[in-house]
Amino acid sequence: MAYRLLALDIDGTLLKSNHRLAKETKDAIEFVKNKGVYVTLATGRAFPSARKVAKALKLNDVYLITHDGAFVAADADAPIFERRLDSDRVYQITDILENYHCHVRLLHEKYALGNKLNQKNQLIAKMNTKMGDPLFYPINFVDSPSNYLIDQPLTVPKICAKFWNESERQDAIEEIKEAVSEVRVTSSYEGSLDITDASATKARGLQVLGQKLGIKLSEMVAIGSYENDEEMVAQAGLGVAMGQSNDKLKSLADWVTRSNNQNGVGYMVKEVFRKQLRTETYK
């Protein structure tokens, strides 16, 4: 089988636990690009953050699967697929989340809206890195996002929250599922709660991109590390789980590579693509 597309999760996959890109990973991406394979990112991050990582990998002008599949685009102003939470559901979800001790982020494709919580600076910095790298695009912190939304309604591809108490997180999940219609609730890292429209998944994003490029799912390799990668890994021609992934994701995968701190992406790329001849390059 000649694979023509490689889809890569970012956090826990491309990036090491210190949130850095290893040289070996960059070299592996360049290696597979030189084989004529279309390389994209499939991430829970917002589009501006994903594009920053893409540029670091010299993936210029490629379509990116962002917001957990709710926003697929090469340019924020011209998505080829988007599934937004309408303003009523955005308000409902935000109002529920504000009853819990958590950081809330409404992730628009160009900016973010977040709540203020009094935490130690170091903890906030660490949390912000996980929640979409706000230094990469504008983020507006307000005391009460739900109050803000009353006067300025907003539609977004994704809402995410960071919890420190797992019991509270589970309570919030249950309340949102009971109160809000047609939403998908998942997690992209420990303590996270990620909400999109029910029809948005990374797997759906891959289908849309495949149709755009004329590439079949059976010709795709998808690699992920967490719960929000399950559908994508399961449906790809070759689904790959990172070494530190949970047992469920590993069971869905065709192949398990090393962990993100052990150059798992580089190892997988060399093993899977080293004997593959160059294919047509996709723009």
Write down the pLDDT at residue 101: 92
Encoding tokens for residue 58?
């010299």
**pTM for this predicted structure:** 0.92
What is the distance between the alpha carbons of residues 198 and 102, in angstroms, rounded to a whole number?
A: 23
Q: Give every residue of the chain whose pLDDT is below 50, as ranges.
A: 120-132, 134, 283
Please list, in sequence order, all residues whose beta carbon lies within 8 angstroms of the beta carbon of residue 228, skipping any fewer than 6 positions away: 44, 68, 186, 187, 188, 194, 202
Q: For residues 91 and 149, is the Cβ–Cβ distance under 8 A?
A: yes
pLDDT for res 275: 81
Torsion angle, CA of 196/202/203/206, rounded to 10 degrees?
130
pLDDT at 131: 47
**Helix 264-273 and helix 23-33: axis angle, to 10°?**
30
Distance of alpha carbon 75 from alpha carbon 272, whole angstroms = 30
Close Cβ partners of 233 (under 8 Å, ≥ 6 residues apart) = 222, 223, 224, 239, 240, 241, 249, 252, 253
**φ/ψ of residue 159, rounded to 5:** -120, 135
For residues 273, 216, 244, 260, the Cα torsion angle rounded to the nearest 10 degrees is 50
Sequence letter at residue 170:
Q
Helix boundaries (H) for the chain:
23-33, 47-56, 87-97, 121-130, 145-151, 166-179, 202-213, 230-235, 247-252, 264-273
What integer pLDDT is reported at residue 136 of this predicted model? 60
Instruction: State residue 282's pLDDT score.
Output: 54
Residues in the chain: 283
Beta-bridge mates of residue 109: none
Residue 183 DSSP label? E
pLDDT at 280: 63
